Amino acid sequence: MPVRPHKIRVMIVDDHAILRAGLRMLVNAQADMEVVSEAPDGEKAIQGVREARPDVTLLDLTMPRVGGMKALQEIARNCRETRVLVLTMHDDPAYLRSALAAGASGYLLKRAVDAELIAAIRAVHRGGIFVDPRLASILVQDVLAKKGTKAGPTQPVNILSDRELQVLRLVARGYSSAQIAKQISVGVKTVETYRSRFAEKLGLRTRSDVIRFAVQMGLLTPETLESEPDHSAR
């Protein structure tokens, strides 16, 4: 008999039952995921993670009794095989920094679309870090502040064509393929080809990987992120 592929075991932690139900339906609709546990507060989240041992826990920060941040610290300390993806309404930079410092593997705003959430779950399960694209500029500023100076492009960038490098910059800034196509006057399929090429050359699998690479190479700075892309052109 063929071996059944391992599904990503997901736990949902949020004090709103309706939201949990919606997330459960979304996750269980994916062929490679299943919800194995739920919890309405941080205290039950800690207990649930210990019992169910999920691969990824979706965790709200604002909950009754034991809050999400304390639960995150406890899970990160005692259940290291579980990756925590914070799913929250808080877009304050302080929450993002605190969550990552406490051990979160990802941080996504609740206004994110379904596709972003599914991509985030897969990314953190693979061992990556996923940060909501709307908060990417915060990480850019933090990295540059630690370095004390802007990094200059180094050898990996040299293997990209000028067009591939241009598209990489725009992807990192949050532009969709349709927006990039309009901006550089090519077709959407051409943009997708450039994206595939630079992803293959550099081993970048997710947009978080692209952002991280762009920051490290000095291709993203706070100045380049001052103007947000118009997300209406999808």
- What pLDDT digit, counting tens, does each position of 158-167 carry? 677 889 889 9
Predicted local confidence at residue 33, as pLDDT: 97
Please say if the pLDDT value at position 30 is more than 60.
yes
CATH level 2 (architecture), domain 139-225: 3-Layer(aba) Sandwich (3.40)
pTM for the structure as a whole: 0.62
- What pLDDT digit, counting tens, does each position of 31-69 carry? 999 999 999 999 999 999 999 999 999 999 988 878 888
CATH level 2 (architecture), domain 8-131: 3-Layer(aba) Sandwich (3.40)
99 pLDDT band, cuts 50/70/90, is confident
Would you kindly state where each structural domain of the chain is located, as residue ranges?
Answer: 8-131, 139-225
pLDDT over 70 percentage in the chain: 80
Q: How confident is the model over 207-223, as a mean pLDDT?
A: 68
Question: Helices marked H in 3-92 — which ranges?
Answer: 17-28, 42-52, 68-78
Q: Is 189 exposed, middle or buried (0-12, 13-18, 19+ CB in 10 A)?
A: exposed
